[in-house]
Amino acid sequence: MTAAVALKNVVKRYTRGKQQVEVLHGLDLEVESGEFVALMGPSGSGKTTLLNLIAGLDRPDEGEVVVAGSRIDQLSSGELARWRARHVGFVFQFYNLLPVLTAERNVEVPLLLTRLSRAQRKQNVRAALELVGLADRAKHKPAELSGGQQQRVAIARAIIADPTLLVCDEPTGDLDRQNAEDILGLLEILNRERRKTIIMVTHDPLAAAHASRRLYVDKGRLSPHEERSAA
């Protein structure tokens, strides 16, 4: 299998006051196309920083970041924005839905940057909502949906443009256990049946158990210890 993500000797620093703090220390990582990887570790370990570098939301201070065949650490801001729109779907803990828009309009937002016709956008939105089991809630606004339903809308929005990679930052952190299991089951289906590469940050061992591989980040380094689920 080919690598969907390849990081080599990545260093990331932040400035806090007069000090520079190194968050990631020469980190190497490969994620194969079609993998479902969980990134675990304590708060402040660097796992969200790592996720942001993979998603093209931040840049390393040193090292190489290759995702979906592109050396994204060398792209200009405009090139990077276009690359993200094509290759990355985002799922966040707090959904990040626009409260004034219906579910179908929230899902449609990424398609407004494409050349698809209105009819094609509508068809794609309907298919995405059907996939996440919310076709009957298309006209509802976020406030009229449960937390689990809002996260399903967020996942439909993340996959609407058929991205190469789904990045999920604590996607079940705001949900009860049953809704969390439902969302994780949906991610498994997207991984298994749609062959989506998924990288998920989570504190929850029960959530991480749904991934095919679990990696541990501690103090800016990947632990040599990793776990794989049985095929």
Given a cut of 90, whether residue 122 has pLDDT beyond it is yes
User: What's the domain count of the chain?
Assistant: 1
Q: Kindly report, residue by residue over 150-190, the tens digit of the pLDDT.
A: 999 999 999 998 899 999 999 998 889 999 999 999 999 99
Q: Identify the pLDDT of residue 102.
A: 97
pLDDT at 227: 74
Give one DSSP letter per residue of 101-148, joined into a string: S-HHHHHHGGGGGS---HHHHHHHHHHHHHHTT-GGGTT--GGGS-HH
pTM of the full structure: 0.90
Share of the chain above pLDDT 90, in %: 77
Count Cα neighbours of 144 within 13 Å in the Cβ-side half-sphere: 11
pLDDT(1) > 60: no
Q: Given a cut of 90, is residue 115 above it in pLDDT? A: no
pLDDT of residue 230: 61
Q: Is residue 226's pLDDT more than 80?
A: no
Of the candidates 214, 216, 217, the one whose C-alpha atom is nearest the C-alpha of residue 228 is 214
Segment 42-97, tens digit of pLDDT: 888 899 999 999 999 999 999 999 999 999 999 999 999 989 988 999 998 888 89
What confidence score (pLDDT) does residue 43 get?
87
Domain CATH number, residue 192:
3.40.50.300
Which residue's structure tokens are 């158990």? 209
**Domain interval for residue 40:** 3-228
pLDDT at residue number 160: 92
pLDDT at site 18 = 85
pLDDT of 40 strictly over 60: yes
